[in-house]
Amino acid sequence: MTPIGAVFLRSLVRSQLRLSVAVLTGLALVIGALPVLGALSPRLVALRVAGLPLAWLVLAVLVFPALALGAAWYVRAAERTEQQFVDLVEHG
């Protein structure tokens, strides 16, 4: 590998790392806010909607779709970054 190739590869790895940390941080904030919200409002935790605990509904309706959307966004962004790297290496 040439020195320039090594620089390009390190740049790609850093870009992928920044992307993964951004997605992880965003999802951690969303998921981490739920227990805090429950601790601040115990009445909210005890609430039931259609016979189901609100916490279950929040997980099913908000958290799991947020995880799926975060994963889909990450995959698209990672593929775009990799394609930019390939274009840069192949076309200078």
Q: Give the tens place of pLDDT for each residue, 34-70.
A: 888 888 888 888 889 888 888 888 888 888 888 898 8
Q: Is residue 5, in this structure, part of any structural domain at all?
A: no
What is the H or E stretch that residue 84 is in? Answer: helix 64-91
- Give the DSSP per-residue string, 47-62: -EETTEEHHHHHIIII
pTM over 0.85: no
Cβ-contact 20, 37 below 8 angstroms: no
Number of domains, the chain = 1
Sign of CA dihedral 39, 71, 73, 62: negative
Q: What is the extent of the structural domain holding 35?
A: 13-91
Are 92 and 82 in contact by the 8 Å Cβ rule? The answer is no
Give percent above pLDDT 70 in the chain: 99
Instruction: Give residue 47's region: left, alpha or beta (phi > 0; psi -120 to 50).
Output: beta
In a domain, 1, yes or no: no
Q: What is the mean pLDDT of the chain?
A: 87
Side chain identity at 58, as an amino acid letter? Answer: V
